[in-house]
Amino acid sequence: MKKAYIFPGQGAQFEGMGKDLFKRYNLAKKRFLQADQILGFKLSKIMFDGSAEELKQTRVTQPAIFLHSVISAELLGKNFKPDMVAGHSLGEFSALVANETLSFEDGLKLVSKRAEAMQKATETVPSTMAAVLGLDDNIVEIICRETEGIVVAANFNCPGQLVISGELGAVKRANEKLLQSGAKRALLLPVGGAFHSPLMEPAREELAKAIEETHFSLPIAPVYQNVSASAVSNPSEIKENLIAQLTSPVRWTQSIQQMIADGATDFIEIGPGKVLLGLLRKIDRTVNGEKAIL
């Protein structure tokens, strides 16, 4: 019996997130205050009292979800005994702090740098992402390749649910073709840009420098990274995959399947929301899934 801890990415935020943790636990209070100081703005105030619109800003969303997730993992204390970890996109950074590859401070700084770099990259070309439901992954990938302009498969979330990403016009053209090919739905998402696509190359270059200058330790448990969908423990390889992640697809379906193949029987989601547990049920109903109990 092996335990796998999974950490959510962007989209899991909610109004008032973390306020209960701040009130109940001294460790949480310490981390929130520390984060405000490191970031140079009151992230805690936006998390506790900000509107949904404020929380949706990439520079806020990413550190907010990271902070909530990392604090939740720390609060588990000795009960946090992972055999393996994984995080969806941004969640990979939370997973790397939880499995002691990164320090809290370094993880937060990298997440902040990542959010700023991604925000900048979205301002260069009109771009977006779209959710595609009810089509085989291979068909979606073929249609993306055959569509004029930059559009790629970006998130393999679960069988029959994939997200494409790219130039605004190309994504719209791909959506039309996908619907003609039998997709149940192909909907533009309310996001600021084309994450996990070649359009994130400027952000990748910016983040690469910061990652290369950051110390990564040997993890206490392997991380199943988005890029490779396989177990990684070598700090240099973890760095390479983390850099590649910005312009590469999130292979979440494949990551979960590989974790199960490697013996994972119990999946515990740590952080805001239950999105990943929903995906887990669609990937494989034979394994256990639950929220971390603090």
Per-residue pLDDT of 163-175, as tens digits, reads 999 999 999 999 9
pLDDT for position 190: 82
Q: Which residues contact 37 (CB under 8 A, 6 or more apart)?
A: none
Active-site annotation holder among 69, 89, 94, 197: 89
The pLDDT confidence band at residue 57, using thresholds 50, 70 and 90, is: confident
Q: Could you please report the per-residue DSSP string of 110-140?
A: HHHHHHHHHHHHHTTS-EEEEEEESS-HHHH
pLDDT for position 262: 98
Crossing angle for the helix pair 201-212 and 235-244, nearest 10 degrees?
160
Please identify, among 136, 160, 188, the residue that sits at the C-terminal boundary of a domain: 188
Q: What letter would DSSP give residue 243?
A: H
Q: Do 141 and 83 share a structural domain?
A: no
Active-site annotation holder among 68, 72, 165, 196: 196
Residue at 193 is within a domain:
no
Structure confidence by residue, pLDDT tens digits, 69-113: 999 999 999 999 999 999 999 999 999 999 999 999 999 999 999
The C-alpha atoms of residue 194 and residue 32 are separated, in whole angstroms, by 30
Q: Do 10 and 153 share a structural domain?
A: no
pTM of the model: 0.96
Q: Do 284 and 161 share a structural domain?
A: no
Q: Do 205 and 117 share a structural domain?
A: yes
Residue at 134 is within a domain:
yes
- What residue numbers bound the domain in which 110 lies? 2-122+198-291
Q: Is residue 183 scored above 90 in pLDDT?
A: yes
Q: Do 242 and 150 share a structural domain?
A: no
Residue at 34 is within a domain:
yes
The C-alpha atoms of residue 182 and residue 180 are separated, in whole angstroms, by 6
Q: Do 220 and 103 share a structural domain?
A: yes
Q: Judge whether 68 counts as a catalytic residue.
A: no
Total number of domains in the chain:
2
Please identify, among 169, 188, 207, the residue that sits at the C-terminal boundary of a domain: 188
Q: Which residues contact 213 (CB under 8 A, 6 or more apart)?
A: none
The C-alpha atoms of residue 206 and residue 199 are separated, in whole angstroms, by 13
